[in-house]
Amino acid sequence: MAFAPQDPRIPDPSDPVVDEGRVDYVPTPISVTRARRHATRLISEWGHPAFADDAALIVSELATNAVRHARIPGRLFRVQLTLTKTRLRIAVSDPRGERLPRPRHPSPRDRHGRGLPIVRTLAARWGVRERTVGKEIWAELDLTGSPTQTEP
């Protein structure tokens, strides 16, 4: 797990926040779709459409984990996107701080367990931050490079 060089809650004066968006969602499967679509739209509006697919996949995987593994009735999960001059930070917060993520190495027959390996592959950095209530799983994309390329 690669951690950011500094606490992400402390602004970096050399890389100021340009834009930010956050939405709270009910922990249901349809919310994963809504979060993914919102991320795609927001990132494109911010002028970085080439990163929208990678960011949407990260949002989808982290939001799915929040719904599947960290759901508490009556509690929401949050998706927060933060754009700086050099990076896009994706953070998903949920109320279950005692259930920390752990990457798995699924076999080809396993139906689950690929979310965090996907996030790890796409993100330049990712990690977990404990909160007073719950946890935040975050991933960052470097905007100075190119997004992940897939072969047609």
Q: Specify the CATH number for the domain of residue 65.
A: 3.30.565.10
Answer whether residue 147 is part of any domain.
no
- Report the number of distinct structural domains present in the chain: 1
Domain range enclosing 27: 17-142
pLDDT reading at 20 higher than 60: yes
| pLDDT digit string, tens, across residues 57-69 | 999 999 999 999 8
Q: What does 84-141 look like in DSSP terms, one character per residue?
A: ESSEEEEEEEES-TTS--------TT-SS--HHHHHHHH-SEEEEEE-SSSEEEEEEE
- Residue 38 is assigned to a structural domain of this protein: yes
Global confidence as pTM: 0.84
